[in-house]
Amino acid sequence: MNSISTVLLVIGVAFDLFGCIGLIRLPDVYNRLQSATKCVTLGTCSILLSLFFRYGFSDVGVKALIAIPLLFFASTVGAHALIRGSHIFGIKMTDKSIVDDYKDAK
Amino acid sequence: MKYITLFISMLLLWLLLTFNLHSANIIIGVIVSLIVTLLFGHSFLTNWKLFYNPVRYLWAVVYLIVFIWECVKANFDVAYRVLSPRMPIKPGIVKVKCSLKTDIAKTFLANSITMTPGTITVDVISDCLYVHWIYVSSRDPKVYNKRIVGRFEKLLKKVFE
């Protein structure tokens, strides 16, 4: 059990690191949010899951397990609000973008 | 009945979250759940009868497995795009039609899209979803409709409608 927990912990920290690298490397706010929601959410979920495997069905483990769906909803709804807000505020998309259907819909 | 369903699920969540069975803790949980139920009960599930239908829970489990698989794939996809030196991105916002009717199903669809490879929901206007896509591989609406929404739509219809 401890070895599974350690493997999950390493995977989680690695994905958190990839997310942070993406936050710096990608060109504009929309693409940065992509890396910030996906990599960081699953990385953090993996760390919480490793906590569950280490402590089993004790109070710490169950709390870590419940935190996973809460984190999912919080990060998706947060990303949704941020990306919509920045589009309405008028932040330009990067030059590489090829299509923007949302501009006509507002 | 709608209120009782919400009250019981809130109380269960509170007990799992605090994880002790002292009487003081349970009393606080009951009070807090009552407040939440009275404040938000009217906007809870409009057709609560679906809540007690066991077939839907089976479909929910299937949906969950598909969702977790997509989520893991999404992570490897984004990690590849971030770490590759040439950065293969071609971003854009596309308009996708969905056939789901209820609000809660649309919410779950939007959240699922946010967690799947390279897509993030920007806005929902009546039955159209506006999706930011990190690599727009096709401009044909039929192709990307199927690629973005197709995986979840049928399952969500079975779970929520």
Residues of A in contact with B135 (CB under 8 A): none
CB contact under 8 A, A38 and B81: no
Domain assignment present for A15: yes
Structural domain count, chain B: 2
* Angstrom distance (rounded) from CA B149 to CA B114: 11
Residues of A in contact with B132 (CB under 8 A): 30, 34, 83
Question: What CATH number is given to the structural domain containing A43?
Answer: 1.10.287
Q: Which domain holds residue A70?
A: 2-94
Distance from CA of A99 to the nearest CA of B (A): 5
Q: What b/e sequence results for A82-100 when a residue is b if at least 16 CB atoms lie within 10 Å of its CB, and e otherwise?
A: bbbebbeeeeebeeebebb
Over residues B90-132, the pLDDT tens digits come to 788 888 887 777 778 888 888 888 887 778 888 888 778 888 8
Which pTM value belongs to this model? Answer: 0.80
| Same domain, residue pair B99 and B69 | yes
Residue of A nearest to B135 (CA): A97
Which residue reads 């993996």 in tokens? A46
| Same domain, residue pair B67 and B131 | yes
- Give the closest residue to A9 by CA, choosing from A38, A42, A49: A49
Distance from CA of B135 to the nearest CA of A (A): 9
Distances in Å between the Cα of B89 and the Cα atoms of A32, A93, A98, B117 are 12, 13, 11, 13
Q: Is the pLDDT of residue A106 over 70?
A: no
Contact by Cβ (8 Å): A44, A12: yes
Distance from CA of A64 to the nearest CA of B (A): 9
| Same domain, residue pair B36 and B59 | no
- Binned at pLDDT 50, 70 and 90, residue A6 comes out as very high
Domain end, chosen from B12, B29, B48, is at B48
Over residues A12-46, the pLDDT tens digits come to 999 889 888 888 888 888 888 888 888 888 889 89
Mutate to test the interface with B, among A8, A57, A80, A92 (most CBs of B within 10 A): A80
- Binned at pLDDT 50, 70 and 90, residue B148 comes out as confident
| Same domain, residue pair B34 and B69 | no
Domain assignment present for A83: yes
Structural domain count, chain A: 1
CB contact under 8 A, A42 and B72: yes
Enter the ipTM: 0.78
DSSP H helical segments within chain A, as ranges?
Answer: 2-25, 29-55, 59-89, 102-105
Q: Which domain holds residue B117?
A: 53-160
* Angstrom distance (rounded) from CA A38 to CA A34: 6
Distance from CA of B119 to the nearest CA of A (A): 7
Q: Which of A62, A80, A94 comes nearest B114 by C-beta?
A: A80
Distances in Å between the Cα of A26 and the Cα atoms of A31, A43, B73 are 6, 19, 19
- Binned at pLDDT 50, 70 and 90, residue B45 comes out as low
| Same domain, residue pair B57 and B121 | yes
Over residues A53-90, the pLDDT tens digits come to 888 888 888 888 888 888 888 888 888 888 888 888 87
Contact by Cβ (8 Å): B71, B111: no
| Same domain, residue pair B125 and B149 | yes
Domain assignment present for A104: no
| CA Rg value for chain B | 20
